[in-house]
Amino acid sequence: MATCKNCDHKWNWKTSVKKLLTLRNVMKCPHCGEEQYMSAKSQKRLSIYLFTPLILWLILSVLNFPLQNVMTVTVLGFVVSIMMMPFSYELSDEEEPLW
């Protein structure tokens, strides 16, 4: 889980998911109110979570699986990805460039 670099407050799963779904890089710590940024390493890891269901969709489509099965696996993949994202979430005091 994400931990504030200022006050060492560990964010809970619900707060982490809520912050992830805002699609903003800057977030305020719910405990101390200081601005925190998603680390570059964390952003790269989270992008893998998002692309994995799309790659599964592509592979299953190429292998001619029934559309209903492809859609079910893709939706479940996105749900599992979103549920797992907060566990690999890291914060930083300053905004880091991706490259």
Cβ(30)–Cβ(9) under 8 Å? Answer: yes
Q: Which residue, 97, 6, 3, 89, is CA-closest to 46?
A: 89
Query: What average pLDDT does the segment 18-44 reach?
Result: 80
C-alpha–C-alpha distance, residues 44 and 59, integer Å: 22
Query: What average pLDDT does the segment 50-59 reach?
Result: 88
Q: Residue 25 pLDDT > 80, yes or no? A: no
Query: What average pLDDT does the segment 73-92 reach?
Result: 85
Query: What average pLDDT does the segment 68-75 reach?
Result: 90
> In the prediction, which pLDDT does 72 show?
92
Domain segments of the chain as ranges: 13-90
pTM of the model as a whole = 0.69
Query: What average pLDDT does the segment 6-34 reach?
Result: 80
Q: Which residue, 5, 77, 62, is CA-closest to 36?
A: 5
> In the prediction, which pLDDT does 2 show?
79
> In the prediction, which pLDDT does 66 show?
92
Percent helix, percent strand, percent coil in the chain, to nearest 5: 55, 10, 35
Report the chain's mean pLDDT, rounded to a whole number.
Answer: 84
Which residue shows structure tokens 């592979």? 59
